[in-house]
């Protein structure tokens, strides 16, 4: 089946994202250094994030509330209001972080856009994703923008059926095996994994190494060559 639609993940595929979470987490660790060991604190925070995903979904707001909950927990409810304020402030600052596109992204999207239906598929806070897309200046290269609450096989099936002829004519490119690759392949599409040095612990999954429609590339710049090779 000919690939006519390209789906791109945004965070840590087109631009840096996890780096800002890691920096905030370091700041959080320093704020609570008198109350908890860094390792213990990170474990507690991850548990809170996992628990809260079902309530708040993906994104900075849920992450901020998870930091507040963790601070209350590790201090046995004695966390100073000053520390809570600093956590909230760190969360607010994340909503203003600069958008740094990753190497090869702009030129590759410009090269592909005339020949493919281009769809950006991202999850997280709607407002924050819209801000980042606007700041990236990449918006006009996409035919459709999909900001979703989660990425499942059904999500890809729906989006690629609307956008292209069928999921079989689509290729999803992203840094998360769990969100971008495994469910896209399950929907019948190609899944092209571009690993990023920093990937959130909750985004890990086993590599679908045996799937015929799975490929791993080093960067977005290698996508055009892959498309030529599989056509
Ligand atoms: Mg990503």
pLDDT of residue 165: 80
Full residue range of the structural domain in which residue 46 is found:
18-96
**Same-domain check for residues 155 and 221:** yes
- The DSSP secondary structure of 53-93, one letter per residue, reads HHHH-SSHHHHHHHHHHHHHHHTTT---HHHHHHHHHHHHH
- How much distance in Å is there from the Cα of 178 to the middle of ligand 1? 10
- Give pLDDT tens digits along the chain (231 positions): 899 999 999 999 999 999 999 999 999 999 999 999 999 999 999 999 999 999 999 999 999 999 999 999 999 999 999 999 999 999 999 999 999 999 999 999 999 999 999 999 999 889 999 999 999 999 999 999 999 999 999 999 999 998 668 999 999 999 999 999 999 999 999 999 999 998 888 888 999 999 999 999 999 999 999 999 998
Domain boundary among 96, 131, 161: 96
pLDDT of residue 84: 97
**Same-domain check for residues 134 and 28:** no
- How much distance in Å is there from the Cα of 30 to the middle of ligand 1? 27
- How much distance in Å is there from the Cα of 22 to the middle of ligand 1? 14
Domain boundary among 96, 119, 143: 96
Contact (Cβ atoms closer than 8 angstroms) between residue 194 and residue 219: yes
- How much distance in Å is there from the Cα of 59 to the middle of ligand 1? 12
**Same-domain check for residues 147 and 221:** yes
**Same-domain check for residues 209 and 145:** yes
What whole-number distance in Å separates Cα of residue 163 and Cα of residue 160?
5
pLDDT of residue 33: 94
- How much distance in Å is there from the Cα of 172 to the middle of ligand 1? 12
Instruction: 88-93: list long-range contacts, CB under 8 Å, 24+ apart.
Output: 88/64, 90/24, 90/27, 90/28, 90/64, 91/24, 91/60, 91/61, 91/63, 91/64, 91/67, 93/24
- How much distance in Å is there from the Cα of 58 to the middle of ligand 1? 11
**Same-domain check for residues 70 and 81:** yes
- How much distance in Å is there from the Cα of 136 to the middle of ligand 1? 15
Domain boundary among 96, 130, 165: 96
The candidate with the shortest Cα–Cα distance to 141, out of 176, 164, 116, is: 116
pLDDT of residue 163: 64
Global pTM exceeds 0.85: yes
Q: How many domains does the chain have?
A: 2
pLDDT of residue 164: 63
Calculate the alpha carbon distances from 211 to 95, 134, 166, 219 in Å: 37, 35, 19, 20
């Amino acid at each position: 089946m000919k690939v006519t639609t390209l789906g791109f993940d945004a965070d840590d595929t087109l631009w840096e994202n996890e780096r800002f979470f890691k920096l905030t987490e370091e700041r959080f660790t320093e704020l609570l250094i008198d109350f908890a060991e860094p390792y213990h604190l990170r474990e507690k925070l991850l548990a809170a994030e996992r628990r809260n995903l079902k309530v708040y979904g993906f994104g900075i707001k849920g992450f901020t509330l998870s930091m507040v909950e963790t601070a209350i927990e590790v201090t046995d409810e004695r966390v100073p209001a000053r520390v809570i304020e600093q956590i909230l402030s760190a969360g607010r600052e994340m909503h203003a972080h600069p958008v740094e596109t990753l190497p090869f992204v702009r030129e590759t999207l410009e090269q592909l856009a005339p020949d493919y239906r281009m769809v950006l598929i991202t999850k997280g806070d709607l407002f924050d994703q819209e801000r980042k897309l606007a700041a990236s200046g990449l918006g006009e290269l996409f035919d459709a923008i999909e900001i979703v609450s989660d990425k499942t096989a059904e999500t890809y099936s729906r989006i690629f059926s609307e956008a292209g002829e069928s999921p079989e004519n689509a290729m999803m490119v992203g840094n998360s095996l769990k969100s971008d690759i495994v469910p896209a392949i399950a929907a019948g599409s190609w899944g092209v994994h571009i690993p990023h040095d920093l990937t959130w612990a909750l985004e890990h999954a086993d590599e679908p190494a045996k799937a015929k429609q799975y490929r791993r590339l080093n960067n977005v710049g290698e996508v055009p060559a892959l498309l030529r090779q599989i056509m």
